[in-house]
Chain A
Amino acid sequence: MRRTAECPSCGAPVQFAWSGAVQTACPYCHSILVRHDVNLEKVGITADLPPDASPIQLFTEGVFDNRRFTVIGRIRYEWEQGGWNEWHLLFQDQTSGWLSDAQAEYAISFLVAPPAPLPPPDQLAPGQLLQISGAPFYVTHLTRVRYVGFEGELPFTTADRSEFLTADLRTFDARFATIDYSEQPPLLFAGRFVEFDELRLANLREFEGW
């Protein structure tokens, strides 16, 4: 079921797949639109995303833990050694999650409430142990992340995301978590690494020659 609003900039109909979406882009005039209750506010113009080689695109569908999802948005980030996508997923039950895709290594995560206040970034170092929902997570990387662009629907605005720090954590059983320091208090995303085949993805991009 899709809701439709009018683009405040060009008047074109803007559809929402998810009632919780906070930011989207007008597919016609590329305005960045932030939703306030029923009104849309134009806060800028989307920048072109650099070409990337992800097989995933908006409206790609898949299955995670027996729950169907649709890709409804994407944020592109860069760090010193390359870029990656965070695909915003809308599950059947209207909850949202993330599929991260870094050079075709995939992980699914969800925003979770931290069990305890998360340490500030200057108190984190690789190798450090944090207990998250009863499991030991070890800090593996601290990464300075640069926001590149977005498309589709997001659960937050990208206004404060130009550059921020993230901490990646892993476990002995291929689970992972990310602490996102773009907000205060920081956000915690937790999930696990997945194999491409496991997600049974449909509506993928095609690659010439493949």
Chain B
Amino acid sequence: MDQILQILSGTLVVLQPLALLYLFVGFFIGIIFGALPGLTSMLAIVLLLPMTYTMPMTYALIMCMGVYMSGIYSGSITAITISIPGAPSALMTCMEGHPLMKKGQGAKAIGHATIGSAIGGSIGALLLIFVSPLALKLALKIRTPGKFSLILFALIVIVIVEKKRTKAIISMAFGIILSTVGMDPLKSVSRFTFGNPNLIEGIDLTTLIIGAFAISELFAQATVNNTEYSKMTSAANSIKFKRKDFFPPLKEMKEIGFLTYIKSAFTGYLIGVLPGAGASMAGFVSYVEAKRTSKHPERFGKGAIDGLVASETANNAMCGGALVPMLALGIPGDGTTAIILGVLMVYGVVPGPNLLVKQMAVIAPMYMALLISAGILLPLSLFLFGPYYLKIVRINRLVLYSGIALIAILGVFAATYSVFQMGVALVIGVVMYYFKKQKYPNVPFILAVILGPLCEQYLRTSLTLSSGNPMVFITNFDSLFFILLTIAFVILLPRANRRSEALEKERNRENCKC
């Protein structure tokens, strides 16, 4: 009852004019960053991170929710129109959406993607609201050894879900190495400072995040040929759609089936709960399932609307799922929630059961903001701004990236007031650029930065409490449960990965034949 009252009061907070303004600002930033190839909603939140320092936390979280939901959705806009997924999560949308565009049905495809995203996002947010009390009850049962085993589970799963696991281990190790610089969490000893007093307090989270994600991206974008980029996007500039073109016929929605929407939303939500899995996997798994159960699987790869809808519904439902482990246990479900966790940490808020019990008033508006962001996708995208979304790629690329370059480097200064940390961000950016070029995944890096220090703290505390006896991880039921879960995932996930890779290869072969 208490929680329902707090959710209701959270609704009132989000409906205040200033909060709504932040939500809309976040929403449109998300649309722009999600729609432009190379930019992601994660990068948008990275750049917003230093600005949130001076904002009330509730507004910062509301804005982040707007960015998160719209950023995942808007990846579909360029995926459909110019066959370049604005966000990695829109890869499957691209497979089905662009063939529709070629048939002159691009606006209708965007309409279907919008409806799917709105339904998926809303179901995901509702499940988050109703499932988090259960997650809270479970989280309260986890003690220190269990917390260590849970983090270990998360770190191992993050590595397993990546295709290049060895590289994921290196990426994760690099994140942990950087997070261990500074004072030891349990003793007053400074580590890896090499006599530099600037490093005694460690490397700031904002420095790490901006360096790894924003600055490295600026180097990568410098290699993109501007003329070629303009040519690629000119196709979208020449498209003219009327508002009514965005409304898909009811007959088609009936053909897709209510079950496809629901099933994809639940799949996306559950994949979101899994640490490290993310929107791309949610979209992919739902797409494969839609193909498996479709009455016309032969249409897939040539403009199957049910495939497009399944992918878009799932990747937006993932948003709600990814927030469950982040809020209840402090373990982010994907890269974006890892940075949202960073926003919470900036305010000194420690996620976990206590957050949901004692500070529900802070979190409730965030839940509602996620739900409202999903809800406003329909009126804003279908009725108002749909035709204008296509013009986002017209934004002058030089101005945009130069602006991002200034915001990124000043963001580090704004967060730390330290020129030294700006230099550290640059060095991290250079390293991550080379890692990215060699296809080292970056999600394990960010999760390691956040979970690494906690992992060390819980490991050492558990062993101190048990006088150095490692059996403490087996004799505690909660810890044993996560260890068994880790073993199960280590055995099962690679099999599932192999199956999905085989399906992907098969699909690529079919596409080649076409």
Same complex origin of A and B: no
Measured CB to CB, the residues of A under 8 A from B are none
Measured CB to CB, the residues of B under 8 A from A are none
